Structure 1
Amino acid sequence: MTTLRSRDGDTISNILWITLKRNDDEAEEALFELNPGLEQYGPVLPAGVVIEIPTLPEKAAEKVINIWD
């Protein structure tokens, strides 16, 4: 597990993408579970919030199906 401090203007989505290379619902849910009270900051975090990053497997690439083929 990794711990980091937010910079002014960081978002949860951005932090997840930078640290885990994913920002899907599963990753977001795991992050909020590890960091109770994090939602109180709203969508944009202030500087200095200590955040624990969950350890998650890489998400498999989704297969895109084109119905016109």
Structure 2
Amino acid sequence: MATAGTSYRARQGDTLDALLWRDAGLGPADLPAILAANPGVAEAGPVLPIGTIVIVPAAQAAPVTATRPLIQLWD
């Protein structure tokens, strides 16, 4: 089963949430969608084996960031 999206490879000592935060900019709210797209990754344990491929679905790959207006000191 091919899933469209971006794939990331686990490094030594990576947890799933740390990998997603560092490489994809995703947070805890995104974990259910990631676990659904990667069956069996939860059984790998809290620390992912080195080289584990984690696929981030296309809908999750580009997080939307809110922008705030710039406030100047002397405005």
Establish whether TM, by shorter chain, passes 0.5: yes
User: Which residue in the other structure is 1:58 paired with?
Assistant: 64
Q: Equivalent of 1:21, from 12, 25, 46?
A: 25
Change (3 A) 1:44 1:31: same
Q: Quick check: 2:10–2:48 contact (8 Å CA) kept in 1?
A: yes
Q: How does 1:20-59 map to 2 (within 5 A)?
A: 20-25=24-29, 27-55=30-58, 56=60, 57-58=63-64
Structure 2 unaligned residues grouped into runs of 5+: 68-75
Identity %: 35
- Deviations, residues 11-33 of structure 1 (Å, cap 9, x unaligned): 111111123322123x1001101
- Deviations, residues 6-63 of structure 1 (Å, cap 9, x unaligned): 11211111111123322123x10011011000011111111011111123242659xx
Structure 1 unaligned residues grouped into runs of 5+: 62-69
Q: Which runs of 4+ in 1 moved over 4 A?
A: none
RMSD (Å), alpha carbons:
1.9
Q: Quick check: 2:11–2:51 contact (8 Å CA) kept in 1?
A: yes
TM-score (norm 1): 0.70
